[in-house]
A and B are shown apart, each in its own frame.
Chain A
Amino acid sequence: MTHAPAAAINPAEAMREIADLGKRIAEGAKLFGEIRDEDVAIATTPKDEVWREDKVTLYRYRPLAEAKVKTPVLIVYGLIGRYTMADLQEDRSLVRNLLRLGVDLYVVDWGNPSRADRWLTIDDYVDDYLAGAVAEISRRHGIDRVNLLGICEGGVFTTCYAALHAGTVKNMVLTITPIDFHGDKEQERLGHGFINLWTRSLTPEDIDRLIEAHGTLPGEFMGSVFSMMTPMRTMMKYNLDMLEVMDDKKKFLNFLRMEKWIADRPHHPGEAAKQWLKDLYQDNKLVRSEFVLGGRKVELKSITAPVLNVFAKDDHIIPPATSQALRGKIGTGDYTELALPGGHVGVFVGGKSQGLLGSGIAQWLAERP
């Protein structure tokens, strides 16, 4: 260890910071006492249940503006995390932004899978539940095709669905969706693509035994893997980060709402998790059109609907290259990419992308009536 003279801190600035710290803590303590659960409610945009199958529920959002996009849009989130991220709070909500732009919006909620749902597969989610939701929307509107908006793992579901049920998809919007699960190797950035690397470090038997032991991919387990991807942030957020915002009610509530979403992490059904981790993350079958659902290969060339592929430039969970791999592999020339500032979640809730994501999607859809 090299010995050195003291690295001094400006004393006046230090005293000011200490005083500021005391003020923040005092104001934060007062705020803590005032905040009620309803103050940090998330996913508050009004919606109505229109269909249900087993634990899966289809909701339709109530319109906030005159319809401008003729064909309804179905939001499909994945089984890791919950769709409420798309409607975190009133001023940071993809759902509200789309509704205000005249989009007729549905969302499918996969519910809370438990160990009893261990045997559900991605086949069930794509060929049955998603297909059932699309059929219900088509029936209600008297149409043959709907617009799909997939998010993350939900984007993989919609990609598979669009390949296997091409005739029922009008347009497909993918957001932060992995296609080439080994694409992280192409553009290695420190802290990016750790889940890809971590999953590849396991053997298929490790994954089989994990699912055998727990029946699901436990929500808290995936949460801890995500936390590992931003290690210092995870360590700092309940002291330094929270301290930064706790004297500002609006920022503090935003912080708590995000924490609420993060804490609400359902278990991933076991057999579907095996497919997700082994077939996709390890064997990378989707991009090679070797992924099999319901006895049929998911051929990306079978996707004929126009595709808008949205990715976040600083997505550390789904690195851009893993999403952009879709280019040139589908059966349509109508393929558009939209690169947005921010990270995996920031692209939905961050201030920078608020004016870009919803309007970008709505405009692209409006151009493809």
Chain B
Amino acid sequence: MAEIDPFESMRSLASLWGQGGNALLASQQGMFRDMAEKMRAASEGGAPVAAADTAGFEAARRAFGELWSSATEVSANLSKAMQGSAPSDPLVAEMLAKIFDPKAWFSGTNDLDEALQKMAEGPRLSDLWNVERKFLAVFNAWVALRRRTLENNTVTLDAWTRAAGAFAKELNGRAEKAEKLDSWREMLALWVETANTTLLETQRSEAFLKMQRETLKASTDLRLAQRELAEYYSEMFGYPTRAELDDVHKTVTELRRELRALKRERPASAPARPVARKRRSGKRQEATP
């Protein structure tokens, strides 16, 4: 039986990643250009507003794009280096596609970024189109978050490239010694071990921690900018603002704290608190003597 090339599938993967990455970048570039133009149009005749840091975003996008191209080249070279004679099973190829796809590193290790974006992206931008100044603050913060996310992805993609290199080196070493991998599982275990080590080392680096912090700050800034805009509308239509609700909650917390203190100060001979008290309509049922 012919030997199976463990990187048969990677040849097509390289192409797939390249297409996916380029499509992602192209769509983001187009989207930002479109947004910037719409924003300019929206602010015409209105108060002067600070422009979004699209240059910073563009620099981050370009850096990410270059690294993405480099990563796909690495995988393509890796694929070419591993010549085989038999096609791999499509099921296995599909599984490998997911496991070796560098995009998975963004959705996996950059889970934090997704959580941050999810937390930040409350109202849709189009819902808040009419208040130019506040909207632009939101837009600027949104661009900043996208920029930080791209920069973060660049650090992660750099880690993937190093992991892929280390993985290839290990395989090359084995091949030169004519050592066979016992199974797909062994190959995957080698990849997981190599990649995990690289990722964990990356996470402890100054560059990664700095990017994480910047992304967190950008996410927080966006959330707060959105809140300011939302409060404008709340006040306009007479709804309670977030700040007012926070104030009410603070008062309730302090009142409850005082109530608990008063209960503790009751004489020891006072009747004990009842078991399994129930609250109704948000008010606590008082202790029954």
The chain A residues found within 8 Å of chain B, CB to CB, are 1-15, 17-18, 21-22, 49-54, 115-120, 124, 128, 131-132, 136, 139, 190-191, 194, 197-198, 201-203, 206, 209-210, 212-215, 218, 220-221, 223-225, 227-228, 231-236, 239-240
**Given A210-B216, A228-B203, A239-B99, A6:B119 Cβ within 8 A:** no
B168 at the interface (CB under 8 A from A): yes
**Given A14-B184, A18-B89, A224:B111 Cβ within 8 A:** yes
- Chain B residue contacts of A198, Cβ below 8 A: 209, 212
- Chain A residue contacts of B171, Cβ below 8 A: 4, 7
Name 9 extra pairs, CB < 8 A, besides A21-B92, A215-B246.
A5-B176, A6-B6, A7-B172, A21-B95, A210-B220, A227-B112, A228-B203, A235-B108, A240-B192
Query: Which of A18, A206, A215 is the one whose CB lies under 8 Å from B213?
Result: A206
- The complex places the Cα of A49 from the Cα of B277 at a distance, in Å, of 10
B169 at the interface (CB under 8 A from A): yes
Interface residues of B in 81-104 (CB under 8 A from A): 81-84, 86, 89, 91-92, 95, 98-99, 104
- Chain A residue contacts of B275, Cβ below 8 A: 49-51
Question: How many A-B residue pairs lie within 8 Å, measured between CB atoms?
Answer: 213
- Chain B residue contacts of A203, Cβ below 8 A: 213
Are B199 and A220 in contact (CB-based, < 8 A)? no
- The complex places the Cα of A210 from the Cα of B119 at a distance, in Å, of 11
Q: 10 A-B residue contacts at CB 8 Å?
A: A1-B168, A6-B3, A10-B181, A18-B89, A49-B276, A124-B253, A194-B204, A228-B112, A233-B196, A235-B105
Interface residues of B in 105-128 (CB under 8 A from A): 105, 108-109, 111-112, 114-116, 118-119
Are A8 and B3 in contact (CB-based, < 8 A)? yes
Interface size class of chain B, counting residues whose CB lies under 8 Å from the partner chain:
35 or more
B52 at the interface (CB under 8 A from A): no
- The complex places the Cα of A32 from the Cα of B105 at a distance, in Å, of 27
List the A residue with the shortest CB-CB distance to B206.
Answer: A201
List the A residue with the shortest CB-CB distance to B226.
Answer: A213
The chain B residues found within 8 Å of chain A, CB to CB, are 1-7, 74, 77-78, 80-84, 86, 89, 91-92, 95, 98-99, 104-105, 108-109, 111-112, 114-116, 118-119, 165, 168-169, 171-172, 174-176, 180-185, 187-188, 192, 195-197, 199-201, 203-204, 209-210, 212-213, 216-217, 220-221, 223-224, 227, 245-246, 249-250, 252-254, 256-257, 260, 264, 272-273, 275-278, 284
- Chain A residue contacts of B181, Cβ below 8 A: 7-10
| Min distance, Cβ B201 to any Cβ of chain A, angstroms | 7
Are B5 and A8 in contact (CB-based, < 8 A)? yes
Are B276 and A225 in contact (CB-based, < 8 A)? no
| Min distance, Cβ B253 to any Cβ of chain A, angstroms | 4
| Min distance, Cβ B252 to any Cβ of chain A, angstroms | 7
List the A residue with the shortest CB-CB distance to B95.
Answer: A239
List the B residue with the shortest CB-CB distance to A201.
Answer: B209
- The complex places the Cα of A233 from the Cα of B193 at a distance, in Å, of 10
**Given A9-B184, A50-B275, A139-B272, A3:B80 Cβ within 8 A:** yes
List the B residue with the shortest CB-CB distance to A52.
Answer: B277
- Chain A residue contacts of B172, Cβ below 8 A: 2, 4, 7
- Chain B residue contacts of A17, Cβ below 8 A: 92, 183-185
- Chain A residue contacts of B6, Cβ below 8 A: 6-9
- The complex places the Cα of A235 from the Cα of B112 at a distance, in Å, of 13
- The complex places the Cα of A190 from the Cα of B197 at a distance, in Å, of 8
Are B273 and A6 in contact (CB-based, < 8 A)? no
Are A214 and B200 in contact (CB-based, < 8 A)? no
**Given A2-B168, A218-B119, A240-B188, A14:B183 Cβ within 8 A:** yes
Query: Which of A4, A13, A232 is the one whose CB lies under 8 Å from B175?
Result: A4
- The complex places the Cα of A11 from the Cα of B87 at a distance, in Å, of 11
- The complex places the Cα of A116 from the Cα of B72 at a distance, in Å, of 48
- The complex places the Cα of A246 from the Cα of B200 at a distance, in Å, of 28
- Chain A residue contacts of B272, Cβ below 8 A: 139
**Given A2-B81, A190-B201, A201:B187 Cβ within 8 A:** no
Are B201 and A234 in contact (CB-based, < 8 A)? no
**Given A1-B77, A8-B180, A224:B224 Cβ within 8 A:** no
- Chain B residue contacts of A233, Cβ below 8 A: 196
Query: Which of B204, B278, B284 is the one whose CB lies under 8 Å from A197?
Result: B204
**Given A11-B1, A14-B4, A53:B260 Cβ within 8 A:** yes
- The complex places the Cα of A192 from the Cα of B7 at a distance, in Å, of 33
Query: Which of B99, B118, B196, B256 is the one whose CB lies under 8 Å from A231?
Result: B196
Are A52 and B183 in contact (CB-based, < 8 A)? no
